[in-house]
A and B are shown apart, each in its own frame.
Chain A
Amino acid sequence: MIQVVLRGMLERRLRSILTAMAIVFGVAMIAGAFITTDAINSAFGKIEQTAYKGVSAAVTTKTAFRSQYTPPKPFGEGLVTRIRGLGGVSAAEGQLEELGQLVVGGKAVNNTFAPTLVISTSGSSRPLFEQVTVDRGRLPTGPGEIALDDHTAAAQGLKLGDAAGVAARLGLQRVRLVGTVRFGGGTSLGGAILILAPLRDVQRWYGMQGQVTSVIVGARSGVSPEALVSQIRPLLPRGLQVRTGQQQASKETSDITSGLNSFLNPMLLSLAGAALLVGAFIIFNTFSITVAQRTHEFALLRALGASRRQLLAVVSSEALLVGSLASVTGLFAGLGFAALLGWLFDAAGFGIPRSGLPLHARTVIVALAAGVLVTLAAALAPALRATRIPPVAALQAASGAHGPTRFARLRAAVALVAGFALIASGLFGVGPAMSRLSTIGAGIVVVFIGMTLSARWFVRPLAALIGLPVARVFHEPGALARENAMRNPVRTANTAAALMVGLGLVVFVSVFAAGLKATVAGSLDRYVKAQYIVTSSQMYPLPAGAGPAIARTAGVAASSPLMMDQIEVNAHSVGATTDMLEGVDAGALLHVYKPDWIHGSSALVAQLGGDRALVERQFVKAHKLRLGQYFTVTTASGGRMRLRAIGEYNDPNLLPGVLVDTATFAAVSTSKDPYAWFVALAPGASRDAVHAALEQAVKPFPPAGVDSLSQYKQLMSDRLNQIVNMLYALLAMCLVIALFGIANALLLSIHERTREFGLLRAVGATRTQVRRIVRYESVITAVIGGVLGIVVGIAFAGLVTIALSDLGLSFSLPVSQLIVFLMLAVIVGVLGAVAPARRSARIDVLQALHQE
């Protein structure tokens, strides 16, 4: 039996390879996802290990919870002196770490999503610890001296002695490069920039004189880190903690990577899952077609005494073979995919440190198992169909198409309803996010299956409709292509399904993103009265020092900063969308913002301050608050305060959570730098003049950019596009796979229609015409997939929009993009037809006509 399988596959080499390709990509993406996250984890591991090399103990501030919004709470330098006085201590250094920006040649170096870190050094030319190795020059010692990581220095063309600038909280600082350093054991920092400067400078630049945020301590020889830690502990005031260097390193590594892993890995894996799903549809289709084509062969085997089980084995072992070969290939292709992914991240500006391409056993096992199992599962239905072929079929004429079975309609309906129900239950239900997400994922898969099952009923009219212009414009080849696409709706539906899945996800992303953009734009239009918004060109806070400069600018009527921090409310864990604390200048708020009151009026704004807060509607819902009620907020840095809700407004996008005056904000949060300033124009002032004056005013604070409201909308949509484009790039894989699927199905169809093509050629069809017939059929099929994908994608996006309507998410159809996607389907169709068309044109007329 196995010989039958092997011989069959060898005879159909091209087809086997194309079938395998469907799985190769999916497996490559799974492997690539794991390899990438492993590479990132390993890089952070290395970075933190070197950061704490030679460090026996580290003193840091305690945090109430992890938050990316909250900088650590600083403490007095006096502690460093006291620690130095301990018996077991060889060296102790107080450190500050802040966000800043490097300025070269008057221009801020923009590294988009990667941070620029300003890290203090002790001020001695020889490092006390081995955190960094000096590459060239020396460490900064005197005021105005900095060292840079060697990669940045090279990329910016900076030489030792060159002048540069550091944009800090209190403005632009003029500095000189005295050295370059290597960090993290040779790991790429993924676009992050390191600026080393003496502690005194960093304190001055950031207005933190006499303060540090951590102390690293070295032990005398013979003193164990644990012993050192217990010596230090009694010295610590409340809110500080001490760990061994090792502990601190692994704590920081896991803090960073667990955040990444909980987002990046699932995202990459779901995209890989999508690719595998597309592959599964192709496997299913290919095996369905070949089983139908081999009806005679199977019937003959049955007539000769093969059992059903043996037939099942024949088809399944072919699937097993294809699946295994494809999975192994995919595993190695995964290394390439991981490299590609890294390049993609860099290109999109998401600098994430990576280290090598680690291939762990887990990656190998999961990728191989997924590939083989998916192939087997997809081939199961066709394999079972093969076993049901009666032996007498060997004696009858082959009947390619078979009508839908009795329960087909029911099955399709059940799948569609169940799929959407699963998605809805995932979206609207309660429970841990992970399990809800997997419910949604399962729902999406089931919907796609349901669509494919039901497609057989609307593929005919759809093909007729789409084929109409094709037949009109391209005459007979077009008309024949249209008829061919309509002749076996089940097959056309199955072939189109792969593209439907790929394009459906693309459309979902696009429609969802359009909704997000429309939402942000809508909130800005409705609620913001300010004419300008000042934000960082990076997604980091702005130097607080820019505030007075903005306020002083002529023609500015009022301006308010927007401070942000995450909060725990009444000791409940932080809810991502609602639990935010926002600080604004209560005096200026009504000039720049128009609250949408649920309870209260604008008169309340003047009462802000002290413990009085305005609360957003979703926040009220989430915490079941009543007006006038007290609630307790805690920030990550440990600040705690009881606030009273005096009014309720609606704006879940711009100002979610709790709105307080800046003074109240400063009392609970360590965040000193705002994320934005809203600036209102004085009546009668010239827009252009004020815009220019504002730009002049924020010049010493390079990350700050002044945008009009419409520019700001554009900026937000550009940022979103960056993420969306990366998703597109990854989803493009699905489209490529779908392309293979179409090519494969067409090759199979051409194979069984050889005689038809021979006949066509005999009655005068040229090779070009034959090629066109194939190409147009491919395009019609692809456009069917495209149309279905667009419908499904819009439906998914609609569901998600309804689920998130509380957050004010609106629905918007990016019509021009959808047209582009449809064109993309046409292109996929044309490309998918290349090999089949060539093959069809090569058909020999005589041989074709004499073939049985």
Chain B
Amino acid sequence: MRAVRRAFIVRAMRTVSDPPASGAQRKTADTVVSGHELVKSYGVGDAIVEALRGVTIDFPRGSFTAIMGPSGSGKSTLMNVLAGLDRPSDGWVEIDGARLDRMSDHELTLLRRRAIGFVFQSYNLLPVLSAEDNIALPVRLAAGRVDRAWMQTLIETVRLGDRVRHVPAELSGGEQQRVAVARALVTHPAVVFADEPTGNLDSASGREVLALLRRAVDEFGQTIVMVTHDAAAAAVADRVLFLADGSIVDCDERPSVGEILDRVKALQR
């Protein structure tokens, strides 16, 4: 039964990623990020580790995708490759219609600056800058003008009040993470990647961060890709991908927490 289902899903995704020529127009309109036959292997010879074994996946604009899977299944690797932080051993990534494998290191940096937002598990902010300045950092690095209104919106959204002028050391973990989300949004990026953004937070703080991400999708039409171990977190997303052994094994639209927990248990077996 499971095997059948998996085969079905993979075929369905193949159809999306290898569309007929006539479908090309539609795809660029809807898809922000796509990975094609992504392979990533570490090491050589006998010690070779295949972290990704041919992953093909599309992320539609304005979608919130959660990626789940057992430890070592390749979640982080997939995210790093999709975000251009790492180069795949094979296959290629396209963001906003641009192929990452054809970009120089410098072009990748500029792409990150313009089109990608990041939220990491921990250590997301520069300790020397105030929360406010941390949010504005990507814009300033691009020597661009900070959009006051947008900054104001973001600051209101992260609900820090006066504490935006404090340095990270004076903020709680949840507050810091909310600042990190605001920073990820500040450049109106094509996509925000979040690797276990709630991994270091207690459940209440975690919920606030997730709510913030959800609002970004609903109110600002932001595309978000989030890796998580937490079923409750994944349930906030529009769609959940399940990864095992470097391959996508499942894809659920709007599953409930219970369904997700079942799936996770099944994968661990």
A binding-site residues for B, Cβ under 8 Å: 475-476, 479-480, 483-484, 486-487, 755-756, 759-767, 769, 845-846, 849
Contact = CB atoms under 8 A, between A and B. Distances in A.
Interface string B107-118: 001101110001
Contacts of A483: 126, 128-129
Given A475-B140, A764-B110, A846-B80, 17 more contacts: A475-B143, A479-B140, A480-B129, A759-B124, A759-B125, A760-B126, A760-B137, A762-B85, A762-B112, A762-B118, A763-B112, A763-B138, A764-B113, A764-B114, A766-B110, A769-B141, A849-B123
Contacts of A764: 109-110, 112-114, 138, 141-142, 187
Interface of B: 80, 85-86, 105-106, 109-110, 112-114, 118, 120, 123-129, 133, 137-138, 140-143, 183, 187
B45 to A, nearest CB: 22
A-B interface, 8 closest residue pairs, ranked by CB to CB distance from nearest: A764-B113, A483-B128, A476-B140, A764-B112, A766-B109, A763-B138, A487-B128, A476-B141
A86 B118 CA distance: 106
A640 to B, nearest CB: 76
B171 to A, nearest CB: 15
A760 B138 CA distance: 9
A846 B183 CA distance: 19
A846 B109 contact: no
A324 B113 CA distance: 49
- In this complex, the member of B85, B128, B142 whose beta carbon has the largest number of chain A beta carbons within 10 angstroms is B128
A762 B125 CA distance: 11
A763 B119 CA distance: 10
A486 B128 contact: yes
Contacts of B106: 766-767
B126 A480 contact: yes
A756 B141 contact: no
A756 B127 contact: yes
Given A487-B127, A755-B123, A761 B137 contact: no
Given A756-B127, A766-B106, A476 B86 contact: no
Given A763-B137, A764-B110, A484 B143 contact: no
Contact of A759 (B86, B109, B123, B140): B123
Contacts of B141: 476, 760, 763-766, 769
B85 A846 contact: yes
A755 B85 CA distance: 14
B85 A845 contact: yes
A769 B183 CA distance: 19
Give the most central of A475, A476, A760, A763: most B CB within 10 Å.
A763
A600 B105 CA distance: 86
Contacts of B114: 764
Nearest to B142: A764
B137 A476 contact: yes
Given A763-B113, A764-B138, A849-B120, A476 B143 contact: yes
A516 B143 CA distance: 50
B121 to A, nearest CB: 9
B130 to A, nearest CB: 10
Nearest to B106: A766
Contacts of A759: 120, 123-126
B112 A484 contact: no
30 contacts: A475-B140, A476-B141, A479-B133, A480-B126, A483-B126, A483-B128, A483-B129, A487-B128, A755-B123, A759-B120, A760-B126, A761-B109, A762-B112, A762-B118, A763-B112, A763-B113, A763-B137, A763-B138, A763-B141, A763-B183, A764-B109, A764-B114, A764-B138, A764-B142, A765-B109, A767-B106, A769-B141, A845-B85, A846-B85, A849-B120
Contacts of A476: 137, 140-141, 143
A849 B121 CA distance: 10
A476 B114 CA distance: 16
Nearest to B116: A764
A846 B79 CA distance: 11
A484 B85 contact: no
Contacts of B124: 759
B86 A767 contact: no
A763 B118 contact: yes
Nearest to A484: B128
Contacts of B128: 480, 483-484, 486-487
A769 to B, nearest CB: 6
B142 to A, nearest CB: 7
B83 to A, nearest CB: 8
Q: Which of B105, B113, B114 is most buried by chain A, counting CB atoms within 10 A of its CB? A: B113
Nearest to B129: A483
A46 to B, nearest CB: 63
Contacts of A767: 105-106, 109
Contacts of A765: 109, 113, 141
Contacts of B187: 764
A402 to B, nearest CB: 14
A767 B137 CA distance: 16
B34 to A, nearest CB: 21
B231 to A, nearest CB: 25
Contacts of A760: 126, 137, 141
A487 to B, nearest CB: 5
Nearest to A475: B143
A756 B123 CA distance: 8
Contacts of A755: 123
Nearest to B137: A763
Contacts of A762: 85, 112, 118, 120
A764 B129 CA distance: 16
Contacts of B126: 480, 483, 756, 759-760
A475 B140 CA distance: 7
Nearest to A768: B106
Nearest to B86: A846
Contacts of A845: 85
Among B85, B109, B137, B140, which residue has the most Cβ atoms of chain A within 10 A?
A: B109
Contacts of A484: 128
